[in-house]
Copies of this chain bind each other. A is one copy, B any other.
């Protein structure tokens, strides 16, 4: 049996990545992919990689998703919450926007500067490695942001066991430009990115709220992380370097990670701190760590592809779990090397 699914707002990079992955799935069929801008255009003619599909982008219309078991929402933040209540009556939803990621909708309103129009809807923060059980059978899953995926996975085992100083958690992330989306801006204009490294949103990136939420939840204490992202001249990938200070440097940190992720097929605990090479193009999150005996610092590094594990791959992982399919279906391909 094949499930029908649809993609709302599919003209951007997360939509493209969903189409790439779902085309290899086998258990689901994409019924609709909507885009106001591209309505009428064949997907094959628009994407340079995906061919052999008869899909065309469609103008969104009321009722058009009634045939879809599950809907992926790829519209910008603040637009998803207007659509989800209607859809949920009929279909499950994986929302790739930020609209349902923050459990405290008041925090959402503060961070995103708008009133939440459906704060009452129950949602699951879709990081399966932390919330797999609630995801099974969930109706509405809020797919995590790209930076939070890398950061939370690199820190959760430490926070769960209260192993580190919570006031001195430094997260220094390096992201490729595709994380900024498909719309051209000064920030992502090629001559301004090539051959350079740029810090941005140095102390106030919106993703901080997600990281704080999840690490606070798992630790049982209020955690506030010190997060700074950088744009590096690559297209895909986020490397997250976490600098933390354990209370007891002698503990078996690697062991804690291995145990924490023993049932998580997409987290690989590495012997050495990972780079992005070999991860890009895959749904894996590679994690490695090293203790700095001079200063008592623990460095934990995670590497993901921001469009796969950091967005659309994770969305499919969530879909697989929600629908009772094998978690790794369509997601097992290794990254590219070199």
Which residues of A, 16-32, contact B by the 8 Å Cβ criterion? Answer: 16-17, 20, 23-24
Chain B proximity of A231: nearest CB distance (Å) = 8
Q: Does A167 contact B (CB under 8 A)?
A: yes
A184 proximal to B (CB < 8 A): yes
Are A203 and B299 touching (Cβ within 8 A)? yes
Task: Give chain B residues whose Cβ lies under 8 Å from the Cβ of A334.
Answer: 20, 23-24, 49-51
Is chain A's binding surface mostly helix, strand, loop or mixed? Answer: loop
With both beta carbons as reference points, the residue of chain B lying nearest to A187 in the complex is identified as B184
Q: In the complex, what distance in Å separates the CA atom of A295 from the CA atom of B202? A: 13
Contact with B along A290-327 (1 / 0, CB 8 A): 11111111010100000000000000000000000000
Number of interface residues of A (CB under 8 A): 88
Question: Quick check: is A35 within 8 A (CB to CB) of the other chain?
Answer: no
* 22 CB-based A-B contacts, threshold 8 Å: A16-B337, A17-B337, A20-B337, A24-B334, A48-B337, A49-B279, A49-B282, A49-B336, A170-B172, A170-B297, A182-B189, A184-B185, A191-B235, A192-B277, A194-B233, A195-B195, A195-B235, A195-B276, A197-B234, A208-B294, A226-B295, A232-B233
